Amino acid sequence: MDSITSALANLAADKGGIYGSLVYIRSEMAKKNGGLKEFREYGGIRILSRLLQQVNPKITSLVLSILGDYSMNSECREELLNYGILKDLSFIMKNINVDSIHYRIFRLIANLAKSEAHIPTMYKHNIHGITIQILSNTDSDITRYTAIRALRKMWENSSKIGCSEMLKLQAVKIISDSLKSECKEIVMAVLRAQTAILYRVLELKHAKNSLDTVVQILGNSEQKSIDNICILMRLLPERPLVSKIIYAMCKIRDALGYLHQSRLIVQITEILKKEDNYYLTLSMCLLLQCPLNRIRFVSIEDWQSLFLGLITSTNHTYIDIAINTLPHFQYCTVTIKKMVEKGLIPMLIKLLSLYVKTNKMPHMCPLEMKTKSLDSSIFVSCASPTTTYDHDASPIWTPPKDDNIATDSHSPYYSPVCESFDIESVNADDSKSDVSDFEEKDDEIVEHSSLEEITVCKIIQFLTHVMYIEKVVLLMVDKYVWETILDYMQYIEHGHNNSNALKILEFITREVLNLNSILTDELILTTHRRLCRPIHELESCNYCTIRNKLGMRIIKNAQSFSSKFGEGMMTGIMDEPDTPDTKLKLKILVSVHVPIVIQSDPKLLILLLSRYKVYYILCNIIKDDQNPSFDDAIGALIALFDKVKITFKKSGIQYCETRDCHKSIVQKETTVTLQLDDGTLINANKSLLSLKSPMFEAMFRSGGFKEAYQNTIRLNDVSSDCIKSFLLLLEVYCDCLLPENINVLLELITITDQYMLNELSEKLILFMINSISVDNCDIIYGWAKDFGHQLKLGASVDLDVIKYLFSSNSRFPDRVKTIKKISKSSYGQLFIEDLTTLIKSGLSSIITFDDKISIFYLNKLQSGLD
């Protein structure tokens, strides 16, 4: 024979030499690149299929070997299926009980099973059932090896119904029974098969088969499951694949209770105490979702160190899954207490702090940001999950690559009846299967470089739950804890929406035993400084508005200060002598806290402000612009204004829309020249001046004053800008004609009063009050004290300035800066007097007329001016 074609022709002619022709074809197909093509073109499949019907085991075995090589090509597999090869294979397996034939059939079946379209036909001819039966009865290692592999390949591409059928026939159990074999190749084949089987049932559509699969792998009794777990654990040092099998079983939620009886959690912890194992660590955390496993786990010696070590690990995947596991312990008070004693709370707070540091958003308050409508439901919503915990934190895992452990059937020394493992190496495992053949992917489980947002939310949620446990809330009253939670709410996007973070602070402030620490560590004061003192105007910054509301809500929850315990603590501090310095510092702390934290008890508020001299101390702080507590005192007084509902209200005046009223003014004839102190000459009209102003009318009346006969009149103590604006306003009044300079506007009000233009003066005062801002408050206040108090409408301008400073939504730093300017000016004492007047008026509005004690102390309220 000189070619595959001639060999096939000899077989087709049936002239004898069948065995030799088959050996030639087999060897030539292995050598020549075009051998497969030549074999197909001459109809090799048709010829060999006919030979399968012979009863000679040697011929059948050799034909199966050739078809096994041929089936590694996808097109060839389709051709085999079309020739009804599966029906022939089913017949042979049923009627010929020869291991050399069986293992070649299983090799061929494994190759055919790569094509998902062939699987239904295999089930139709009961290939799976016969294979399972042969596997359970054979003593041949090579037959068991190839049968296990064939069943694995069939399972990988079977539907849910197909897998269920195999489970009914105990396929997984029979495969797993071979794990006790002394043959390493068979053991490895079983591990690969278990991995593929578990991988398949982890898919959602196969979930129904998951528990039955685990039961068949481990056995249907407690002792069998313990024995099989022990076998797997003994294999672990040399077979890392075992850890993935265990991990896959632990991912099946329905199996967690069943895994408890196998004592798997004990076996895992014994290994983890000695060495780090990635998949076993994840498996332990998954097992702890089950209460039975948790009970067994907490009975293990030094379990706290083992579990808490995951939280302090540098591996963020360990941290994530440990945090996901923590909520399952939250209803076991004893267990949580033991973990808290080992430092659980500081560990979680440290993780939260690191997350904030890594993910902090530095530019939360762009000045150009416009205020958006704030939905209160969004503001209080919880960003973290509330009841359910999804522990499938790790991505889908895939089984490992199958090693090539079979032997070469193309050897010239090949014997078709030899049962050695040195028979075939070119087999289905060598092919590039389009079906997953245990290829491990690099991204099997993504190791996170930092904590995930969902993990941080679960930390906060867990802390919220454990706050109910005795003494835990006392451990949380720590400045580092408080500021970490504030950092999260202030600097993490959507952190302010996390109602659980808010609950943590609420728990801390409600506990009366925490009051002393809250006061001395300045927790409430820190909150007020960071959240309630906006760096931008609230109308122009959404984030400042949100944080201000958040801060006020946190402070509002500090109701324990109004309790009898809180009252006693604060009054006790205020009754102490002012020395040493530590006592005075405590008094100042109490003073800057009182207006902020006393929310709904007017009697206590007035008592502390007056009898215990809180207001006196606040005023003394304001008098000293260098006092380190100056900003805190201003914040306290702002809170006091808010509490007694003292607000600054603008007048309802209409503003010019066109802003071009100057165009409508007709120039009058010059009949008089006004000479100012700086020598400036301004032309005017006597008739207009006389018509508008009683003072000018008297001045220009004949026989009255000398100015009636002069063409140039001198005006003292008035600027040119002011008199120019004045002359325009005599023609027509409009706000678009008013000077932008506040000093000129105030001067204009002054001269309109002097010139007896009362109506114009009132309009200007109303406009000026509406123009009050942090940039001009000090100027307006000085003017009000020097001149404004003499005017009918200007008598309360000084109080309007104070109302604006302490009740507007202006930037807090600007308000402090302006108040400092006024307090250190010559008007400083007057400023505090006016402030006291407003405070007394406001406090009187929140007490009842029959509350004699509060009225008595209110009348004795001191402003710190002595």
Mean pLDDT is highest, among 457-471, 618-632, 689-703, for: 618-632
pLDDT in tens, 47-65: 887 887 777 888 888 888 8
Given a cut of 60, is residue 377 above it in pLDDT? no
Q: Which of 271-275, 469-473, 681-685 has the lowest mean pLDDT?
A: 469-473
Q: Which of 362-376, 789-803, 849-863 has the lowest mean pLDDT?
A: 362-376
Given a cut of 80, is residue 256 above it in pLDDT? yes
Please report the pLDDT score of residue 134 as a whole number.
Answer: 94
* Percent helix / strand / coil, the chain, rounded to 5: 65, 0, 35
Please report the pLDDT score of residue 205 as a whole number.
Answer: 87
For residues 129 and 159, give the distance between their C-alpha atoms in angstroms, rounded to a whole number: 16
Question: Would you say 507 and 393 are in contact if contact means Cβ atoms under 8 Å apart?
Answer: no
Given a cut of 70, is residue 376 above it in pLDDT? no
Residue 375 pLDDT grade (very low, low, confident, very high; cuts 50, 70, 90): very low
Q: What is the mean pLDDT of residues 251-269?
A: 94
Q: What is the mean pLDDT of residues 408-421?
A: 33
Please report the pLDDT score of residue 445 as a whole number.
Answer: 54
Residue 326 pLDDT grade (very low, low, confident, very high; cuts 50, 70, 90): very high
Q: What is the mean pLDDT of residues 220-247?
A: 94
Residue position matching structure tokens 């470089």: 449
Please report the pLDDT score of residue 381 as a whole number.
Answer: 33
Please report the pLDDT score of residue 415 as a whole number.
Answer: 31
Which has more pLDDT, 425 or 350? 350
Given a cut of 90, is residue 81 above it in pLDDT? no
Q: Which of 80-94, 415-429, 498-512, 824-838 has the lowest mean pLDDT?
A: 415-429
For residue 713, give the 3-state DSSP assignment: strand
Mean pLDDT is highest, among 491-495, 569-573, 663-667, for: 569-573
Question: Would you say 239 and 188 are in contact if contact means Cβ atoms under 8 Å apart?
Answer: yes
Q: What is the mean pLDDT of residues 376-399?
A: 36
Domain ranges of the chain: 473-643
Given a cut of 80, is residue 693 above it in pLDDT? yes
Q: What is the mean pLDDT of residues 796-808?
A: 93
Question: Would you say 124 and 87 are in contact if contact means Cβ atoms under 8 Å apart?
Answer: no
Please report the pLDDT score of residue 20 as a whole number.
Answer: 85
What values do phi and psi take at 125, rounded to 5? -95, 15
Q: What is the mean pLDDT of residues 291-296?
A: 94
Give the tokens for residue 10: 């000899």
Given a cut of 90, is residue 373 above it in pLDDT? no
Cα dihedral 302/303/308/314 (nearest 10)? 80
Please report the pLDDT score of residue 1 as a whole number.
Answer: 58
Strand arrangement, sheet containing 681-684: 681-684, 672-675, 712-714
Sign of CA dihedral 393, 398, 399, 400: negative
Please report the pLDDT score of residue 32 as a whole number.
Answer: 60
Question: Would you say 821 and 813 are in contact if contact means Cβ atoms under 8 Å apart?
Answer: no
Closest CA to 667 of 655, 684, 651, 650: 684
Q: What is the mean pLDDT of residues 752-768?
A: 89
Residue 433 pLDDT grade (very low, low, confident, very high; cuts 50, 70, 90): very low
Residue 755 pLDDT grade (very low, low, confident, very high; cuts 50, 70, 90): confident
Closest CA to 158 of 123, 109, 207, 202: 123
Please report the pLDDT score of residue 591 as a whole number.
Answer: 95
Please report the pLDDT score of residue 658 as a whole number.
Answer: 67
For residues 480 and 345, give the distance between their C-alpha atoms in angstroms, rounded to a whole number: 12
Query: Which residues touch 19 (CB under 8 Å, ≥6 apart)?
Result: 58, 59, 62
For residues 815 and 818, give the distance between their C-alpha atoms in angstroms, rounded to a whole number: 5
Q: What is the mean pLDDT of residues 525-553?
A: 88
H or E, element range at 712: strand 712-714
Which 8-state DSSP code applies to residue 676? P
Given a cut of 70, is residue 399 above it in pLDDT? no
pLDDT in tens, 663-685: 666 677 778 889 898 888 999 88
H or E, element range at 508: helix 499-510
What values do phi and psi take at 169, rounded to 5? -90, 10
Q: Which of 272-281, 337-346, 378-387, 624-633 has the lowest mean pLDDT?
A: 378-387
| Residues forming a β-bridge with 712 | 673
Please report the pLDDT score of residue 659 as a whole number.
Answer: 64
Given a cut of 80, is residue 181 above it in pLDDT? yes
pLDDT in tens, 588-612: 999 999 999 998 899 999 999 999 9
Mean pLDDT is highest, among 83-87, 421-425, 518-522, for: 518-522
Q: Which of 18-27, 350-359, 454-463, 475-484 has the lowest mean pLDDT?
A: 18-27
Residue 793 pLDDT grade (very low, low, confident, very high; cuts 50, 70, 90): low
Residue 245 pLDDT grade (very low, low, confident, very high; cuts 50, 70, 90): very high
Residue 703 pLDDT grade (very low, low, confident, very high; cuts 50, 70, 90): low
Before 580, cis peptide (omega within 30)? Answer: yes
Please report the pLDDT score of residue 499 as a whole number.
Answer: 87
Residue 748 pLDDT grade (very low, low, confident, very high; cuts 50, 70, 90): very high
Which has more pLDDT, 793 or 529? 529
Q: How far is CA 160 from the centre of its chain?
A: 37
Residue position matching structure tokens 């000077």: 739
For residues 811 and 774, give the distance between their C-alpha atoms in angstroms, rounded to a whole number: 8
Q: What is the mean pLDDT of residues 168-182?
A: 94
Question: Would you say 776 and 742 are in contact if contact means Cβ atoms under 8 Å apart?
Answer: yes
pTM: 0.74
Which has more pLDDT, 614 or 378? 614
Query: Average pLDDT over the chain, rounded to whole?
Result: 84
Question: Would you say 549 and 379 are in contact if contact means Cβ atoms under 8 Å apart?
Answer: yes
Given a cut of 90, is residue 189 above it in pLDDT? yes
Q: Which burial class, exposed, middle or buried, applies to 244 when counting CB atoms under 10 A from its CB (0-12, 13-18, 19+)?
A: buried
Q: Which of 247-256, 412-421, 742-751, 807-816 has the lowest mean pLDDT?
A: 412-421
Residue 396 pLDDT grade (very low, low, confident, very high; cuts 50, 70, 90): very low
Please report the pLDDT score of residue 849 as a whole number.
Answer: 85
Please report the pLDDT score of residue 362 as a whole number.
Answer: 67
Residue 747 pLDDT grade (very low, low, confident, very high; cuts 50, 70, 90): very high
Residue 393 pLDDT grade (very low, low, confident, very high; cuts 50, 70, 90): very low
For residues 156 and 158, give the distance between their C-alpha atoms in angstroms, rounded to a whole number: 6
Q: How many Å is the Cα radius of gyration of the chain?
A: 46
Before 240, cis peptide (omega within 30)? Answer: no
**Angle between the 614-623 and 602-610 helix axes, to the nearest 10 degrees?**
60
Most distant pair of Cα atoms in the chain: their distance: 157
Please report the pLDDT score of residue 365 as a whole number.
Answer: 65
